[in-house]
Amino acid sequence: MTRPISLLIEHGIDQQVFNACAAIFVVIIVMLFFLSILKNVLEHKIKNRIIEKGVPDNLVTSILKTTSGVGKQLNIKWFSILFGAGIGLFIVDHALPLGIHSLAIMAVSISISFLGYFFYLQKSGK
């Protein structure tokens, strides 16, 4: 079985273009990771300062209101998107050669994963 990267190169995607796109993708992922860590650290600092200053209780509860369900919903959303993309890539790998039908398979699989997430939200009442 031939490797998917070599198939991409055979079908018109240059190796340098692929490497540049992969590098950009990795840099974006790393930057998003660092931004999320920075956001969490800064939120923690501001919450500690609010508590130290002795702000009135009603204002503190409105500012520090935790939305634990939002993180759970976000995790489920990303799981469904990545799972749909993974299933799509698996199907595309078995439906070689690559072509326009590969894009259609990916679009349908990701759409189905969004539909599953929508039904999950409907069932959970959000």
- Whether residue 73 sits in one domain with residue 55: no
Please check the confidence at residue 72 and state whether its pLDDT lies above 80: no
- Whether residue 81 sits in one domain with residue 59: no
- Whether residue 73 sits in one domain with residue 48: no
Residue 112: pLDDT band by 50, 70, 90 thresholds? Answer: very high
- Whether 94 contacts 80, CB under 8 Å: no
Quote the pLDDT of residue 33: 83
Gap between the Cα atoms of 50 and 59, Å rounded: 10
Which range of residues forms the domain containing residue 100? 66-126
Mean of the per-residue pLDDT values of the chain: 80
Indicate the residue among 64, 81, 113 that finishes a domain.
64
Number of domains the chain is built from: 2
- Whether residue 19 sits in one domain with residue 53: yes
67: left (phi over 0), alpha (psi -120 to 50) or beta: beta
Quote the pLDDT of residue 9: 54
| pLDDT tens readout for residues 1-46 | 455 555 555 556 677 877 787 788 888 888 988 888 898 888 888 8
Quote the pLDDT of residue 113: 93
| pLDDT tens readout for residues 48-70 | 888 788 777 777 777 767 665 56
- Whether residue 76 sits in one domain with residue 22: no
Quote the pLDDT of residue 3: 59
Gap between the Cα atoms of 70 and 68, Å rounded: 6
- Whether residue 92 sits in one domain with residue 52: no
- Whether residue 50 sits in one domain with residue 32: yes
Residue 53, token pair as written in the block: 């200053």
Quote the pLDDT of residue 118: 92
- Whether residue 60 sits in one domain with residue 14: yes
Cut 0.75: pTM above it: no
Gap between the Cα atoms of 99 and 101, Å rounded: 5
- Whether residue 54 sits in one domain with residue 1: yes
Residue 49, token pair as written in the block: 């300062």
